[in-house]
Structures are given as C-alpha cells and as structure tokens.
Amino acid sequence: MTKSRRYWTAWSRKMADRNKKSPSNQGIVYLIGAGPGDPGLFTVKGREILNQCHAVVYDNLIPDELIVLLPEKVEKYFVGKSAGKHTLKQEDINRLLVKLALEGKKIARLKGGDPFLFGRGGEEARYLQENNIRFEIIPGITAGTAAPAYCGIPCTDREQSSFVLFVTGHKAIEKKLSSVPWEWVAQAKSGTLVIYMGVGELPNIARKLIEGGMPADIESCIIERGTFPSQRAVSATLSELPEKAQMENIKPPAIIMIGEVVSNEPLLNWHKQKPLYGLRIMVTRPADQAEPLYGSLRDLGAEVLPCPTIATSEYMDITSWEKFENLVKDDSKNKWVVFTGENGVRYFLNPYISRYGDIRKLSRFRLAAVGIGTVEALGGYNLKPDFIPAKATIDSFVKEFKSKVDLTESTIIRVKGSLADNRIEEGLEPIAREILPIEVYKTYVPQWPGNMRERLFKYPPDLIVFTSASTVDGFVKVLNSGEIKKLIRSAKILSMGPSATRALKSSGLAVSYEADEHTIPGIIKCLKKLFGTPLKEKKSLMPKRQTS
C-alpha cells in the first residue's frame, strides 16, 4: 500500500469515528463552493445550507449578493485573501472554524469556485477532522469550466480537444519554484490546458511550455473576472499572450486557457448578446427588498453591485397599536388604512396577524395603496386596495384621495416608517375626523460586510440606482464626501421617482435619468430603453470609467 493510500485509509477511519468522539451539542461546518462569481451559479444545496447557518466565514471572491441577503443575526466573518494580502492566515481560519463549531453553531464556510479544486478545502477538512469537528462538503462550480463557458469556449470538444488539464500557476509561499511539471504538460497534444492563479507567472509559464515543446502559435486566451458581466477575454498565440495581457492590464482573478478550443470564442460568445451586458449597476435599495431587482438586472446581463444604503427593522409603538385596537372594535363605516410602501405592508400586517390570528377583522377598513409594489405586497396577503392613485407619489395620492373619496367623518390609519414625512397627515387633516399615524418600522444605515467597500471602488459602477429618498439619505451617510465624488465621476444616476430626485438634488447629486414609471418594473423598462443597444452605442451613453 502506498504512503498516500495509507494516509487516506487512516483518515477515513478517523472520519468514521468522529461522531463518537464529538460532543452532542457541537456544531457543524459546511465547506461550500460558492461558484466563480455569478450569484446565479451558486448551487441549490449551497443556498439551502447558507439560509440555515448561524455563522458564515467567507473568502474574497464570494458574490456580495450572497452576503448582503443574509439576516442581520447571522455572524459574518470575512477572511479573504488576495495576492500579497491576507485578512487571516490559513492557520487562523482553521482555528476560527473550530472555535465556532465548539460553540454549537452551524457554519457555512464559503469558498470561491469549488472547495476541493485549488481551494485549500482539503486542508480545512483535515484540520476539522483532526479536531473531531463534524463537517460536510458541498461542491461548487469551478471557474476553470464556468469562465470559458461564459465566453463561449468549451473545455472539451469532439473535434478539437479530448481531455482537459487543470493546473495552478501560483507558487506556494513556502516554495521557490512551481511544482507543476511544465515540460511534461507541454507534451500533451489534442487537449486543453486551464491554468488557475497564473497572471503574475504568465511570462514564465508561456516560456516553459514553449521550451517544453508546445507550439508557440497555439491558440490561447486569458479571461479576467470570469462569469461577471464585466469579464474580459484577451486572445493571442501562446508566445504573444503575456505581452498582450500586460498591454490590456489584465488583473487577478483570471483563468488562462491554451488549446484549439479557444478559437470558438468569437463564434459562441452568447453572454455579450444580453441588453445590459458590460454595465455595472449599484443598487442602493434595502437588501431584503432588492432580490427581485438583482435578479432582473442579472438576467439582462448587468453586473449587480448590491450596496444597500438603508435597512429596516420592525418597530411597535404600543400606544398607537392600542388606539388601533379600539378602532378595530369600532363599528363606524368610513375607516381607511393607508399604505405607501412594501415595508409598511409587511411590518404592519405580520404583527397584525400575530396579534389577532385572523385577517378578516381588517375587512372593517378600506385600504389605500400608493405604487405597484405596495399593491403587489398587499396581494401577497390576498388583500386588494380600494383606492390606488393614478400617479405613485405622495402629493398625487393626497390630491386624488381628497377629490375622489368622501372623507367626511373618516378615520385614517397612516402606516409609516421612522423617516416618513407628514405630508399625508397634513394634507388630509382638514377633512378627516381623525388621523392615526402608526410607526411600524425603523430605518437605519447598515454596516457593509467584509471588503464590499474596497471592491466597490476597485470595480466602480457605471450607474447608481436610487429607489427612494431614504436610500439617498443613507448613501450620503454610509459614504464620505470624497468617496461620493470618486463614485459619481465614473457613474450616472438613475432615480425611480420624484421623491428620490428631490433628495438627490438637495444632496448636490445630478440626476441623469428618472424612470417614467415610478416602480421597480419602471426602472427595468428605463434601463432597457437606455442601454438595450449594441455595446459600442451603449458605452457612448456612459462616462469614461475611472481606472483603479
């Protein structure tokens, strides 16, 4: 039996015994492959486990969307590594996983790509096993196949490549030389070579392969930020690729491909055909409301920068709720509940249902809703508004409500958040018998996780989307004036409606576009109208992007 076989046999035996040695209240670590960058490539099983975890330990290349959508109660530990820069050493990451597991937590250890393919997942698994910590492996989609696929390049092809080799171009810190036998690799014919982490070593790799017998004129390419809509692919012969990659300023993360299959790139590149391909769009909407918008933008080919500038949490004003309870028992007829946003709907109705256990008592009230999103949120509770203004603004609502509805002797419940103004109360007070504002949620500025701020400025947006005045207020609080100036030098601003536009102008920010329909679908329509054009024309609509 070989030394390697003996090692893995012993390891398997320890695996079988670990549950016997582990305390029953101990946690578990899931080593999860998060994919190469596109959040849509995260596996179903990975997402299921992530949604159940108490803590998340994640690397540098994990999509921000996966992190910002996590509940606030989930502990988040950024341990990312990049060339020459480590947030934590690998030994410290290992110890952190053990510590969290011994606290009885369920931990998602998110690793870019697949944890067992150049992801050091094996090292972490062995350390956990040696410390009698339960773990499971959830494979992920690796960049070596996904990045080429997003460029239209197959790793294997019946006519062009009968095998594929995955190698790393990175030299381990403790080694002065790469352990990859490049001379042997160079002799492989009729296949595809995929090299991870090789940007800095590309000149040496190309030289060694050519010296080992690989044709200098063989097709090759380097793909930067694969599976992101802003990915770049630079193609050249093997001998010319290092110089061309340097001229194009290619930076990690990147995948190098060598082989005849690279010739497919200009023919099969499906990703460039999407209408918003190549655009980076920063979304300031609260994360728990923004997931549908993220998905719509990604479906159209945009790269989403999920940077929520506000967040919300439930709040219950006991005095107001007690007054509302008296109105629930009141048999008077002309009673209204006014909703002006999706947050108001869920933060009002969820505690209402918990309190009364039955939504039918709400039938004693008529409902008014401002905006399609609010109407749809009510629909989620099988409720249909009795009044919807033609235009989704507060001022239009007040004007139409007064002119089209008999509010004589009416009682109006105004559902609102902590930052809402009093225009509805002030506009309806002269007519209504009673107006009861109920504050049901608080709005605050969230803490951005991990290296999200650093990544935002490394890959700045082409467009920043604001969906409300409060997202503007949060924007000027979460970023300082210098950071804001830096962002808007390389980005245009899209406002969802008049309230956001007023707030932007008050903050000294120029509004480039305002959606005709003041809704999330209206934003999508506006973007398709503006940028659903060939790439050259689309780029002419945007300011010149600043280099980092």
The pLDDT value given to residue 536: 45
DSSP per-residue string spanning 288-356:
HHHHHHHHHHHHTTPEEEE--S-EEEE---HHHHHHHHHHHH---S-EEEEE-SHHHHHHHHHHHHHHH
Q: Which of 482, 506, 480 is nearest to 495 (CA)?
A: 506
**Could you read off the pLDDT of 121-164 as tens digits, one per residue?**
999 999 999 999 999 999 999 999 999 999 999 999 999 999 99
Q: Which CATH architecture does the domain made up of 3-141 adopt? A: 3-Layer(aba) Sandwich (3.40)
The pLDDT value given to residue 548: 39
Record the tokens describing residue 151, joined without a space.
């460029």
Q: Which of 93, 33, 31, 34 is nearest to 63 (CA)?
A: 34
Neighbours of 54 (CB within 10 A): 15
For 444, the 3-state DSSP assignment is strand
What is the overall mean pLDDT for the chain? 89
**Could you read off the pLDDT of 321-357 as tens digits, one per residue?**
889 988 888 877 899 999 999 999 999 999 999 888 7
**CA 412/CA 417 separation, integer angstroms:** 16
**CA 334/CA 407 separation, integer angstroms:** 7
The pLDDT value given to residue 504: 97
For 235, the 3-state DSSP assignment is strand
**Could you read off the pLDDT of 105-131 as tens digits, one per residue?**
999 999 999 999 999 999 999 999 999
**H-only helix segments in 507-547:** 520-531, 535-540
Record the tokens describing residue 236, joined without a space.
């050249």
Least confident of 7-16, 32-41, 416-425: 7-16
**Could you read off the pLDDT of 39-96 as tens digits, one per residue?**
999 999 999 999 999 999 999 889 999 999 999 899 999 998 765 566 789 999 999 9
Write the burial class of residue 497 (CB in 10 Å: 0-12 exposed, 13-18 middle, 19+ buried).
buried
Q: Please identify every residue annotated as catalytic.
A: 59, 81, 197
CATH of 313-444, one of 1.20.1250.20, 3.30.1540.10, 3.40.50.10090, 3.30.360.10: 3.40.50.10090
Q: Which of 99, 61, 103 is nearest to 81 (CA)?
A: 61
Pairing of strands 254-258, 219-224: antiparallel
CATH dotted code for 274-310+449-540: 3.40.50.10090
Domain extent listing, the chain: 3-141, 145-272, 274-310+449-540, 313-444
Cis bond before residue 543 (omega within 30° of 0): no
37: phi then psi, degrees, rounded to nearest 5: 150, -45
pTM above 0.75, yes or no: yes
Which top CATH class is 145-272? alpha beta
Q: Determine the longest span between alpha carbons in the chain, in angstroms.
A: 92
Domain 274-310+449-540 shares a fold with domain 313-444: yes
